[in-house]
Structure formats: structure tokens, C-alpha cells
Structure 1
Amino acid sequence: MSEIVDLVGESILSWRNTSASDGTWEGNQLKTTADAQAHQLLVKYLRNLAPDIPIISEEDSYSQTKKRPDRYFLIDPIDGTASFSGGFPGYVTQIAFIELGQPKLAAVRAPEFSQTFLAESGNGAFLNGVRLSLSGELAPPILIDNYPSPRGISEKLFKELKCEKYVECGGISLKICRIADGTADLFVKNVIVRDWDVAPAQLILEEAGGFVYDFDIRPISYSGHFDINGTIATRSYVFVEKMKNYGLR
């Protein structure tokens, strides 16, 4: 899986500033030719790797109605399409292998940063081959989201939790990975997200020692509907407790 996301990531990078990066909005989703091309590459490589394992993809409309099987690959060809199309670096291509509703393997490639995040359930998370491990004393949290400055729930969190710093980042997956690598401490999304946005990065953060829940602070299962009621990703459960104390959750 590592080699696959690296190869697809390099292809996506080569499509920047070409017509493949031009986007059109379908509802609240931005779609580009590059999304479809990356989907085709991921499917091709995964079928060569494991032809008997089903593939669920954001770019396959059938995936939005299909019941999740017991074992499958869950892919997001470009998570952070708006960043990709807009000329910003905050996008990734990613794969999770799901078994019985939980991610067991994950690979996330951030092409603009030449970074590959990998995780295996029970065996840790790695960034470019270096093990990720969240440790050290907790300070006022560093909050991460995709706006230039905190908005909505992030603005409330930044104020009430007396956050030390705010980091702007692109797609959902990369924000969660940035908690795993120590760049940030807390990311909260209080709107519906999709399973392909979250699953790979969830395993990476949890294997690094962090926590991922839905917005109701419940474990996320990848065996049901593809919609997830928001996301809380954090390096420490202490920040979740503080959110509850301040009535932010």
C-alpha cells in the first residue's frame, strides 16, 4: 500500500496546474478530472495487489449506497480536492484496509510534502519510516482546521480552551495526520463527514497514541453508513474532557 500511494501521489502532483486540476462543484463536493484519474490508478494497483478484496471509493457513486462488506479497501483518491484545485498543498491520497468495521492498515501520501504516513493495527504508525509516538507534557492545545483563522466550533474551542496556536491545513485526513506527527493537538468537525475521509488517518493517529471519535464522542465504525456525525481527533483525551466541561460537546 505504501508503494501504491507514493506512485499515485506523484501522478497527482504532476497534474497540478493542468486542466486536470480544474474543478466543478457537485452539491458541496468539488470534483476534478484528477480525482477520477487517481481513482482509476488506485483501483488498478489494488486489484493487482489483492484482486479478491472489494474496493470502496469516494469517486464511485455505487459506494455511497453499497453496504460495507466485512473486508474491503476504502480509498479517497484526493482528500482535500479544494486545496489541490486551488493551488494549496493540503491534500493527500489515501487507502485503508477495513476488517469487521475497523481500519487494520492505512497509507496516506501528502505529495506536496513528500510525506508518507503508514499504520498497522497493533504495530504502530510511521512517517517516512520514522515511528510516530505522542508523548511529553500537555500544554495549551494547538488547534488545527482548514480556514485562515478559527471559525464556528473552532473559534469557540480556541477561546474556551485557551489554545496556544492555530494551524491552517487542508483536507480532513491531513489535519488528523498533523496531530499524529505532533504539529497540532486537536481537530474538531461538527458537520457530517464521510468514512473515506477519516478511516486511514484515524488508524495513524490512534497507533501514534491519539484518539478519534465522532462528534458525540463515540467510536467510529466502518461497517454501516458512509456518513459520520462529525469528528473529534486529539492527541489526548484531556482535551475531550475539557470540551465537555465547557459545554462544547
Structure 2
Amino acid sequence: MSAAEHWQEDLDLILHAARQAGEVAHGFFGQAPEVWWKNEGRSPVSTADFAANDRLESLLRKARPDYGWLSEETDDDVARLSCETLFVVDPIDGTRAFINGDKTWCVSVAVVHRGQPVAGVLVAPALNEEFSAVKDGPALKNDDPITVSVGHADNKLVIAADEGLVKKFDPAFREMVHRVGHIPSLAYRLAMVADGRIDGTIVKRNSHDWDLAAADLIVERAGGRLVDLDGRRLVYNRSDVRHEMLVAGAEGAVRDLLPKVAGGAG
């Protein structure tokens, strides 16, 4: 079997698993699931997160016992660092949205090989949307190819970003930016970049591999980039899975945003 065929099989596997986990999570949606707070009270986790994680883990680890495992809702095992290939999972990306009844949440699953995503899916059951990509293949939304934005007639740069960050832009550049409202799921926000609904986004410090890996590949295969402030692509499955400030978007958006964000990133 060629590498391309292998990654396609992995894509089919993770899409099936993400759909199953999405069904599990959706069963809790709007039903006031029990919620706990982690990271010193800064981050919520619900019964639905754990149930979806259990479904993903049971399906994926059984199918690929030699793959490593990294999930937001599983205690980290450093054994993953010795794995050439692993699953990177967020059972519900956008838990705050989920518990508040906002439909903008998704199940995020990626296969990462030698530090780079080679298959990725985002399943958003409440929106009836699925995004997927495989290394060297197209980015898809509900099985239709998608591409990043090619710009707008008014030359406005449509971005998702923290209001405080946008206020740091110089006045002339700020006039050229249209900031959209808050999108609680980072993975879904990147999917919006991939299908051209927004031109780009700025990702604040302390995002994690599980927030990014699947969406990163989808953005890339849609013709965009997710990079650090030096313009470098991300490396996954490091000992520290947190990331510094990032920029994602169509090529023109990344080119315009990088110097502005880097200049005010302190």
C-alpha cells in the first residue's frame, strides 16, 4: 500500500470515528450536561466531552494500536513522543459554545506523522457540516472542494481576531480591516478560513495541538497557511503542545497580517 492510500484509509477511519463522537456529543447538546472547570477555573469540560472522547478512543486506538494518542480530555502520556504517527483529538472544540447552546462547536481529529498532519476532520453535528483533508488531496466541506478567500471588491480584510489586538493596528491598516464577531471554536474558525468565509484569523497564545492539527491541514489544502509570527509552519507532537501567537489565512491575508501582528505582539 502506498503512503497516499494509507493516509486515505486513516482519513476514512477518523471521519467515521468523528461522526460517531459527534452523535454522542449531540445527544447531550441543549440538555444541560454536567460541567466542571479545569486549568484553575479557566476552561470548562462537560460530561459530553468525556463521552465523546471515550467513543473516539475506543474506535481509534483499537483500529491503530501502534499509533500514539494526544487528546485534550486524556491525561498526557509521554510515550506519544516516541511514536512516529499519532491521533490528535479534541472531542468537543468549543465547549463553552456547546454548554451555552451555541451550535458553533465541532469534533476535531487529526493523524499526525513526523510532526505534520496528514489527515484531518472537523465534524460539526449541530451545523450539519463536515470538513476534511488528506495530505496532497483537496480540502472538502460536505464532500465539496473548498478554497480560501480570493479577496473582496472593497479590498476589506475580513478577519476573526480579538478586539484588543485589532485596536493595536495602525489607524490606516485598521480602516482596511473588518472584524467579525467572536467564534468560540478555534478549529471551526480555521474552517471558516478554509472555506473562504473569512480571509484570516489571529490566534492568541496558548492554543494547543488538539485545537489546531486537523484544521491546519484543512486550511493548507484549501490554499491557505497557518504559521507562527516568523512565518513558519507548526510542528506537532512536541513535549510542549502549546503554541505562541499564530496567524492563519489566505496568502494575501497572512502576508498583510504577519508584520502588523508581530509588531504589536509584545
Same fold at TM > 0.5 = yes
CA 1:113–1:187: 2 relative to 1, 3 Å: same
Pairwise CA distance, 1:210: 0.4
Residue identity in the other structure for 1:2: L
Unaligned runs of at least 5 residues, structure 2: 1-13
Structure 1 match to 2:160: 144
Residue identity in the other structure for 2:29: R
Structure 2 match to 1:212: 226
Pairwise CA distance, 1:25: 4.2
Residue identity in the other structure for 2:86: Y
Answering whether residue 61 of structure 2 is matched by residue 13 of structure 1, we say no
Stretch moving more, 123-132 or 63-72: 63-72
Structure 1 match to 2:7: none
CA 1:221–1:92: 2 relative to 1, 3 Å: same
Does structure 1 retain, via aligned residues, the 8 Å contact 2:26–2:126? yes
Q: What is the CA–CA distance in structure 2 between the aligned matches of 1:221 and 1:48, rounded to whole Å?
A: 26
Structure 2 match to 1:156: 168
Structure 1 match to 2:131: 117
Pairwise CA distance, 1:110: 1.0
Does structure 1 retain, via aligned residues, the 8 Å contact 2:34–2:47? yes
Structure 2 match to 1:230: 245
Pairwise CA distance, 1:104: 0.1
CA 1:20–1:239: 2 relative to 1, 3 Å: same
Unaligned runs of at least 5 residues, structure 1: none
Answering whether residue 45 of structure 2 is matched by residue 45 of structure 1, we say no
Q: What is the CA–CA distance in structure 2 between the aligned matches of 1:55 and 1:97, rounded to whole Å?
A: 10
CA 1:167–1:248: 2 relative to 1, 3 Å: same
Q: What is the CA–CA distance in structure 1 between the aligned matches of 2:164 and 2:58, rounded to whole Å?
A: 40
Answering whether residue 109 of structure 2 is matched by residue 95 of structure 1, we say yes
Does structure 2 retain, via aligned residues, the 8 Å contact 1:35–1:78? yes
Instruction: Provide Cα deviations, 1:62-121, integer angstroms capped at 9, x if missing partner.
Output: 248953621101111111111111111221111100000000000110111111100001
Structure 1 match to 2:97: 83
TM-score, reference length from structure 2:
0.83
TM-score, reference length from structure 1:
0.88
Does structure 2 retain, via aligned residues, the 8 Å contact 1:68–1:223? no
CA 1:216–1:136: 2 relative to 1, 3 Å: closer
Instruction: Provide Cα deviations, 1:181-225, integer angstroms capped at 9, x if missing partner.
Output: 111111102322111111100000000000101244322101312
Does structure 2 retain, via aligned residues, the 8 Å contact 1:110–1:116? yes
Q: What is the CA–CA distance in structure 1 between the aligned matches of 2:21 and 2:170, rounded to whole Å?
A: 36
Q: What is the CA–CA distance in structure 1 between the aligned matches of 2:139 and 2:151, rounded to whole Å?
A: 20
Structure 2 match to 1:56: 70
Pairwise CA distance, 1:58: 0.8
Q: Calculate the aligned-residue CA RMSD, in Å.
A: 2.3
Identity %: 23
Does structure 1 retain, via aligned residues, the 8 Å contact 2:36–2:44? yes
Answering whether residue 259 of structure 2 is matched by residue 244 of structure 1, we say yes
Structure 1 match to 2:9: none
Pairwise CA distance, 1:127: 0.4
Does structure 2 retain, via aligned residues, the 8 Å contact 1:107–1:117? yes
Residue identity in the other structure for 1:80: G
